[in-house]
């Protein structure tokens, strides 16, 4: 009997664990180590953040789902990995610290045959002075990255709406809280959902809504831009987003690194090296992401964190990490198997793997401050990678160490972003943007590295419906209700 330990029960980890449990059956054990008792469909947190959904609607208890699937659930956070075991015991293990199940604070060593690191991001609020401490958000801004953050964001937003309803002018600032953030898509959805709610509440006239982001152009989204169909024509996401901002009366600052946050004000540096400040009454700024800070030790107990993890805390996998200038970036730099090069029974999926470099064009301000989006690894690639890794591990367990590993390169994956711009069955709006491949392949597609022939979808109500249906579909899938395997990642 072999044991697979999955660290993190988010999009990637949940996918890996549930598929592995299904494919491995009762003969082998799948363990999930994750600190929260509830699963959260993160993309719908946007709607929690504007009060259109409750926390309960976007989360559910993991224990009964894992019980049914025959997965061992440990509500704990992983602290360190010993891939070579320790003095006197060869079996590799992971040290975890319980956060619930009546054992909060207790430590345990969980041995494994295979391990998948799907711990997602550490929300690194501490990177920007005033944004927060470590992974804790500060008091100056709100966030929608977790369901609890989103609940709080909505409470603060309602206060702003109340003031605006009394005729007080209010300023809303939404975007990225650092020069090296990803996840612009989430902030983009949030700003337009706020705008939509403000119009519904009749307070739009008293709100000034502004976007601030590290993208070098509107619509970069950390992917160097996408494209979409508008009125039958293929249009760059830059043209489309600029039009949407103009149409909805939202101003923007691009190419910005937020350098400091204070109560009611941010300081920022721009690509041309100039600085500025922007006041606000309400700000939702996405923090930069880092790895969750797992440590690794060898058999002798020496720290080998640098061998297993990249400096940003994400796990090294089969990518080409040689530092290269922009002109030498290749699609083949990106990982295919997500296997750690040093320890072959160790994999990483979702945000937890270290990307070889960014996707957008690298940019630095005149003062040398990097101001460019870091690569997004959205829900879809996270799920697809999670499933491929589950496949590989199952084959390794069932067919032996020479089994063929499954591949899923982000340079061969398309992405479709259905971005919500307002919720409502009748007046909702969402934009469907596509990109293929996610990571540009300059050899196959000279110039942009992308195949712009591939598109689908337009902005409008239908887009919103799709987004809303996806919400139910994915929660249904994650709960492993009948037929869950038919629903794609």
Partner 1 sequence: MEQPLLKYPDPRIRLISGNVRFFNETLTDIIADMTDTMKANDLEALSAIQIGIQYNVIVLRENGTFTPYINARFIKEEGKAAAVERSTYYDFTAEVERYTSLTVVYEDETGQMHSRDARGDLARTFQHHLDYAYGSTFVDRVPLAVKKQIDAYLDQGLVKDNRVKGEESETCPTVFVRDYIKRAYRYGMLAVAVTFTLPLFANAEWVAWAVTIDKIAIPLVLALIMAYFFYAEYEAKKYKQCTSCQTGNILGTVAIGFVQWLALSAVFYFWMLPS
Ligand X SMILES: Cc1cc2nc3c(=O)[nH]c(=O)nc-3n(C[C@H](O)[C@H](O)[C@H](O)COP(=O)(O)OP(=O)(O)OC[C@H]3O[C@@H](n4cnc5c(N)ncnc54)[C@H](O)[C@@H]3O)c2cc1C
Binding region for ligand X (CB under 6 A):
7-13, 33-36, 42-43, 45-46, 77-78, 118-120, 144-145, 183, 185-186, 292, 350-352, 377-380, 382
In 3-state terms, what secondary structure has residue 355? Answer: coil
Per the listing, tokens 């629903």 go with 487
| Residue 177 contacts residue 131 (beta carbons within 8 Å) | yes
Is the CB of 223 or the CB of 396 nearer to partner 1? Answer: 223
| Residue 91 contacts residue 85 (beta carbons within 8 Å) | yes
Site string for partner 1, 401-420 (x = CB under 8 A): -----------xxxxx----
Peptide bond into 437 cis (omega under 30): yes
Is the CB of 270 or the CB of 408 nearer to ligand X? Answer: 408
E strand or H helix at 419:
strand 415-422
Residue 434 near partner 1 by CB under 8 A: yes
Alpha carbons 180 and 258: distance in angstroms, whole number: 10
Query: For residue 348, which of 339, 357, 358, 356 has the smallest C-alpha distance?
Result: 339
Among 239, 267, 305, 369, binds partner 1 (CB under 8 A): 239
Is the CB of 124 or the CB of 382 nearer to ligand X? Answer: 382
Q: Residue 339, exposed/middle/buried by CB under 10 A (0-12, 13-18, 19+)?
A: buried
E strand or H helix at 278:
strand 275-279
Per the listing, tokens 């902005």 go with 459
Q: Least distance (Å) from partner 1 to the CB of residue 317?
A: 19
Q: Token pair of 226, please?
A: 């996408």
Q: Token pair of 347, please?
A: 């994999």
Among 448, 460, 479, 484, binds partner 1 (CB under 8 A): 448
| Residue 255 contacts residue 269 (beta carbons within 8 Å) | no
Q: Residue 246, exposed/middle/buried by CB under 10 A (0-12, 13-18, 19+)?
A: exposed
Is the CB of 245 or the CB of 282 nearer to partner 1? Answer: 245
371 secondary structure, DSSP code: -
Residue 457 near partner 1 by CB under 8 A: yes
Q: Least distance (Å) from ligand X to the CB of residue 351?
A: 4
| Residue 411 contacts residue 446 (beta carbons within 8 Å) | no
Residue 310 near partner 1 by CB under 8 A: no
Write the CB contacts of 56 (distance below 8 Å, at least 6 apart in sequence).
none
Dihedrals phi, psi of 305, to nearest 5 degrees? -55, -40
Q: Least distance (Å) from ligand X to the CB of residue 183?
A: 5
Among 87, 322, 327, 401, binds partner 1 (CB under 8 A): 327
Is the CB of 270 or the CB of 348 nearer to ligand X? Answer: 348
Is the CB of 122 or the CB of 164 nearer to ligand X? Answer: 122
Among the listed ranges 34-42, 112-120, 175-183, 217-225, the one in contact with partner 1 (CB under 8 A) is 217-225
Q: Least distance (Å) from ligand X to the CB of residue 149?
A: 9
In 3-state terms, what secondary structure has residue 98? Answer: strand
Is the CB of 245 or the CB of 280 nearer to partner 1? Answer: 245
Is the CB of 117 or the CB of 214 nearer to partner 1? Answer: 214
Q: Least distance (Å) from ligand X to the CB of residue 325?
A: 28
Among the listed ranges 58-66, 152-160, 232-240, 308-316, the one in contact with partner 1 (CB under 8 A) is 232-240
Residue 151 near partner 1 by CB under 8 A: no
In 3-state terms, what secondary structure has residue 253? Answer: strand
Is the CB of 184 or the CB of 254 nearer to ligand X? Answer: 184
Alpha carbons 93 and 110: distance in angstroms, whole number: 5
Q: Least distance (Å) from partner 1 to the CB of residue 168?
A: 25
Q: How many residues bind to partner 1 according to rule CB under 8 A?
A: 65
Among the listed ranges 144-152, 177-185, 294-302, 459-467, the one in contact with partner 1 (CB under 8 A) is 459-467
350 binds, among ligand X, partner 1, none (CB under 5 to 8 A by kind): ligand X
Write the CB contacts of 364 (distance below 8 Å, at least 6 apart in sequence).
271, 370, 371, 372
Residue 25 near partner 1 by CB under 8 A: no
- Residue ranges that bind partner 1, judged by CB under 8 A: 216-217, 224-225, 227, 230-236, 238-239, 243, 246, 252-256, 270-274, 326-327, 361, 363-364, 366, 380-381, 384, 412-416, 432, 434, 436, 442, 446-457, 462, 465-466, 469-470, 473, 487-489
């Amino acid at each position: 009997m072999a044991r697979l330990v999955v660290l993190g029960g988010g999009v990637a980890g949940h996918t890996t664990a549930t598929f592995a449990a299904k494919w491995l059956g009762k003969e082998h054990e799948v363990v999930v180590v994750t600190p929260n008792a509830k699963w959260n469909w993160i993309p719908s947190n946007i709607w929690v953040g504007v009060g259109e959904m409750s926390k309960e609607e976007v989360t559910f208890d993991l224990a009964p789902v894992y019980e049914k699937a025959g997965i061992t659930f440990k509500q704990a956070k992983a602290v360190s990995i010993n891939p070579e075991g320790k003095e006197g015991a060869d079996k590799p293990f992971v040290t975890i610290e319980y956060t619930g199940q009546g054992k909060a604070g207790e430590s345990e060593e969980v041995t494994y045959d295979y391990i998948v690191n799907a711990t997602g991001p550490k929300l690194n609020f501490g990177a920007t002075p005033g944004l927060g401490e470590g992974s804790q958000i500060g008091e100056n801004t709100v966030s929608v990255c977790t369901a609890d953050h989103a609940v709080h964001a909505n409470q603060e937003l309602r206060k702003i709406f109340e003031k605006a309803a009394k005729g007080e002018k209010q300023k809303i600032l939404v975007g990225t809280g650092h020069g090296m953030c990803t996840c612009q898509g989430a902030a983009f959805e949030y700003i337009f959902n706020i705008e939509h709610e403000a119009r519904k509440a009749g307070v739009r006239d008293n709100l000034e809504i502004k976007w601030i982001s590290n993208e070098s152009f509107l619509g970069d989204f950390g992917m160097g831009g996408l494209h979409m169909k508008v009125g039958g024509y293929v249009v760059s996401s830059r043209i489309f987003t600029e039009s949407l901002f103009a149409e909805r009366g939202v101003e923007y600052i691009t190419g910005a690194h937020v350098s400091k946050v204070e109560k009611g004000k941010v300081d920022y540096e721009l690509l041309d090296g100039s600085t500025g400040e922007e006041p606000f009454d309400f700000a939702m700024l996405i923090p930069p992401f880092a790895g969750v800070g797992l440590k690794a030790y060898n058999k002798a107990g020496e720290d080998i964190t640098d061998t297993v993890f990249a400096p940003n805390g994400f796990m090294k996998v089969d990518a080409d990490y040689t530092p290269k200038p922009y002109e030498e970036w290749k699609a083949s730099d990106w990982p295919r198997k997500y296997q750690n090069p040093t320890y072959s029974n160790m994999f990483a999926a979702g945000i937890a793997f270290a990307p070889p470099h960014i996707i957008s064009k690298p940019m630095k301000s005149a003062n040398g401050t990097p101001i460019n989006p870091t690569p997004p690894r959205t829900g879809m690639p996270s799920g697809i990678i999670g499933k491929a890794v589950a496949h590989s591990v199952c084959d390794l367990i069932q067919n032996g160490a020479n089994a063929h590993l499954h591949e899923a390169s982000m340079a061969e994956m398309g992405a479709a972003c259905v971005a919500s711009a307002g919720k409502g069955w009748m007046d909702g709006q969402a934009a469907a943007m596509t990109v293929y491949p996610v990571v540009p392949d300059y050899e196959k597609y000279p110039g942009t590295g992308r195949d712009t022939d591939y598109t689908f979808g337009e902005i409008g109500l239908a887009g919103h419906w799709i987004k809303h249906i996806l919400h139910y579909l994915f929660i249904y899938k994650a709960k492993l209700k009948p037929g869950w395997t038919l629903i794609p990642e």
